[in-house]
Every structure is written in C-alpha cells, then in structure tokens.
Structure 1
Amino acid sequence: MEMEKRIVVNGGMRLPIGYRFHPTEQELILHYLLPKAFASPLPSSIIPVFDLFFSHPLTFPGDSKEKHRYFFCKKKEVSSNEQRIKTVSGDGYWKHIGKERPIIACGKAVGIRRTLAFYETNKSSSNCNRTRWSMTEYSLAGFASAKVFGEWAVYNVYERKGSKARKQRKSRDMDDEDLSCSIHFIVGSSDHETGPPPPSPPTSADE
C-alpha cells in the first residue's frame, strides 16, 4: 500500500524524481495509441484512461506540478457548426481551434493532431470565457481496422502561460544554454590541455 502511494498521485502515475515523460508525436502515435487501439501491450502503463469531457480540467487526475499530462480517451462527436464538446458536469466546453495537421512517420500519415481550448461557463451570464487550459488530440490515420476497437485518442493536456511567464522562461533557457556551453568546454578538454595554445614565435618579418 505504501509503495502504491509513492507511485500514484491524484489517480495518476508519478515518475521518479528527475524523470519526465516527453515522447515525440510519432512515438505517441506508434508506440502508445496504436497498441491501445488494437488492445496490444503498451511500453508502459504511464498514460491512464480518463474521460476528459466529464469535468473541469482542474479536477483531472495526475500530478498538477507536471506541465504536460497525457490521457487515453474515446473521441467525442462534435457539432459541425460550432466544433464544441460540452462537459458532462456543465461547467464549460472544449472547442476545436486551428486546423488539423497530419503526423508523418516513414513518409506516411499515421496520425492527426488537433488542438482544443477550454471555455468556462460564466455563472453570472450566459457567456463562456476562454481559459488557459488547452489540449492536443492525437488520433490514428491510415489504420482503418483500428475502428473495430473504438475511436481511441491520446490527449496532451496543459495550461498556457502568460507573456510574462514566457519571457521569464526564455531568459532561464538562455541561462541554461550558457551553462551547458561552459560545461561542454570544460569537459571537452583533455588532461594535457591546461589552457589555450601558446602564441607562435615571432617571424623575421614581425621582428
């Protein structure tokens, strides 16, 4: 029981300190979503199954400290006009924004990527306000027989940051790049190199 508490946080899997689940889009499609659709073994059980269209994003399982959380969920039907998917709890809806983009692997389209934004219901009026919550939907393409197992998709849920936060993050990234360059220079030198090469002896022309 104690071990289970250490690896599960708020109903989601917690990785050991220093580890991050950061797959490429191709890896997400081919190594996780495709096996899920065909009921085949997965590389890891790190992506839980959860109905994202049931409640507000604040109630989603997993470690809230993680910038990106991944979930398996069955795709929902949307109206052709508004492209909205209302939550069961009635506290808002997800809306498709932007265009569909193909995921290419080995020269073929293996998946489709779509972005959704969450709009929160305003209790004081009939309007809905767009929140910072967004998610990227990855679905299969080119695997017609996968429909036998249902329209599974994998979702990357995240909270967008403001412009000030982006500037601060960019500044930190630049500091990290300077640090990595310094470390690379030190590690790359051999034991026999204690500094820059000595200057060349003066030639007769210089004298």
Structure 2
Amino acid sequence: MDSLKFHPSDEELIIHHLWRKIGNSSFSTSAIGEADRKLDPWDFPAFSLQGERREWFFFSHKDWMNGIYRATYSGYWKTTEKDAEIFKGKALLGMKRTMVFYQGRIPKITKTNWFMHEYRSESNHEWVICKVFLIENKMEEISGICSSEESKPSSMMQTNSKDTTGLLVKLKYKEDTVKFVLNNPTMDGLKTQVLKRFNKLDTHALKFKYRDLEREMITIICDEDLQLCFQSFKSFARIEVTNSQCH
C-alpha cells in the first residue's frame, strides 16, 4: 500500500486495520506502525513510515486508554469532547475520541495545535488506532517544542500572594478534611503538607486517590499522576488519603 495515498475513512480504519490487529497482534502494514505510548507528537514525522504528511497513524496497546488523559514525555493528550460513535449501517463498529496535546508540566502548560483521533472497537479494546495530525501552516513552526500560544497559569494555580503560584488542595483523611495551597506540586511536596497536618502518619503507607471527571477513583502514584489530577478540576484538587497499614 502506498502510505502517501492512505486516506481511510473511520469505518475502513476499524474494519480493515483495527479488527485485523485485534485478531492477530503480529499484523502490520506500511501505513500504520506501532508506537511507544509516551512519544510526543513532534516525534511522529521521524517515527512514521509515511513520509512528509500532515497526519500519522499508529497502533497502541490498550494500557494507554484509561481515563481522559494520555501522558507523554513532555506533556499529555486531553479529551476535548464526547466520544463519537462509528456505524456501518445500523451496526455500531466502534468509537472515536478526539484529543488535543498540552505541552509542559504544572504550573507552565501550553495548549498546542497537535490533535489526535483515537479509534477503538466496540467489542474489543485490546488495541486502538491513533491518528495524529498537526493543524499548522508550516511543519517547521514546531521543532522540538510547541509554540502555539503563550502559557498562562490557570485559575486553580492562583493564590492571594502576588509572587506565589500554587495549587489549592482539599484533602480528606478519615473524618477530617483540610485545605491548603501546594506550592510544590510533587508527591514529596504533597506528603510534606500531609505530615504538617497529620504528623503521626507514615507517608510510606499512605495511598492518595481522586475522583476524575468520569467519576472513577484514580490512584496517585507519581508526580505525573498528581499533575494530571490537578488538570481534572478548574478550582482545586480533591484528594482522598488512606493508610494501607490500617485494617
């Protein structure tokens, strides 16, 4: 197949490519490769076999599908709208999710002009197909970094202090709820604030969770998880703490 002439419809992507990949994980095509789930969008022109294009396709394993975010080395993809249903006649084939890429980490995040469509089968989620594309006049405008707009701290990062930016956290432990500004948005910074308020706790035994926009409880394990937590809320992060040593 001439990958430069590869312009499949949503229906064709699912029937002729995704279903074949689900049925045989060794299936491959020159138009759709397999990609590391943490690749940044500007890595795809070099990674892809499709040459100089404005869109790139790849297969990704299901472990990249949880929640509304897709973390990468330099930022994350965020879902922009409700998933679209893909039909053939009256038969539901699968779903298409649209995402936009945000570069950076809290407190400096930039929305870019990179977009992704993520296709999944209705009956099997083992594999997905992702289409990455750039809405720009020139490819050269992105070279290693994104330059779509000025990065602005969100409202949840603003405090009453003129020179300080932080994240407002509402934290619940058992029957107690406390609120504080987290100026160091890392797991170490979060644990330090917890110890200030519950100094008898063993931080190694603590588990942190939050409820995302899909009403699922998500465990916070690392700094990246914490940063995604704060992106789920406009005003402040709501985090629950449990002690794994308590029975």
Q: What is the TM-score of this pair, normalised by structure 2?
A: 0.48
What does residue 133 of structure 1 align with? 114
> Over residues 102-157 of structure 1, what are the superposed CA-to-partner deviations in whole Å (9 max), with x where a residue is unaligned?
000131110100001110006xx62211111111000001x2xx45xxx2000111
SS at the partner of 1:59?
Answer: helix
- Aligned with 2:133 (options 135, 155, 158): 158
- Secondary structure of the residue aligned to 1:157 is strand
3-state SS in 1 of match to 2:39: coil
* Greater RCO, 1 or 2 (C-alpha within 8 Å, sep 6+): 1
Which amino acid is the alignment partner of residue 69 of structure 1? W
Q: For residue 83 of structure 2, what is the aligned residue in structure 1?
A: 100
- Alignment of 1:72 with 2:59, yes or no, is yes
* C-alpha separation in 1, matches of 2:7 and 2:40: 24
- Aligned partner of residue 83 in structure 2, secondary structure: strand
Whichever residue aligns with residue 131 of structure 1, its letter is T
In 2 relative to 1, CA 40–72 (structure 1 residues): closer, same or farther, beyond 3 Å?
A: closer
1:29-48 superposed matches below 5 A: 29-39=14-24, 44-48=29-33
**Does the 8 Å contact 1:31/1:42 carry over to 2?**
no
When residues 44 and 64 of structure 1 are mapped into structure 2, their CA distance, relative to the original with a 3 A threshold, is closer
Give 4+ residue runs of structure 1 displaced > 3 Å after superposition.
Answer: 40-45
Q: Is the 8 A contact 1:31 1:43 kept in 2?
A: no
> For 1:130, what is the secondary structure of its paired residue?
strand
Structure with max Cα Rg: 1
Q: Within the alignment, does 1:58 sit opposite 2:42 as a pair? A: yes
Per the alignment, in what secondary structure is the counterpart of residue 109 of structure 1? Answer: strand
Query: Unaligned stretches of 5+ in structure 1?
Result: 1-12, 163-207
What's the offset of the Cα at 1:161?
Answer: 2.8
Answer 1 or 2: which has greater strand percent: 2
Residue 34 of structure 2 is aligned with which of 30, 38, 49? 49
Q: What are the within-5 Å matches in structure 2 for residues 136-147 of structure 1?
A: 136-141=117-122, 143=123, 146=124
Measured against aligned partners, the alpha-carbon deviations of 1:148-193 in whole angstroms (never above 9, x if no partner) come to xxx200011100136xxxxxxxxxxxxxxxxxxxxxxxxxxxxxxx
Name which of 115, 125, 129 aligns with 2:98.
Answer: 115
Instruction: State the Cα RMSD in Å.
Output: 2.5
C-alpha contact 2:21 2:28 (8 A) present in aligned 1: no
The 1:41/1:49 distance shift into structure 2, 3 A limit, reads: closer
The alignment partner of 1:161 has SS state of coil
Report how far residue 42 of structure 1 moved.
Answer: 5.6
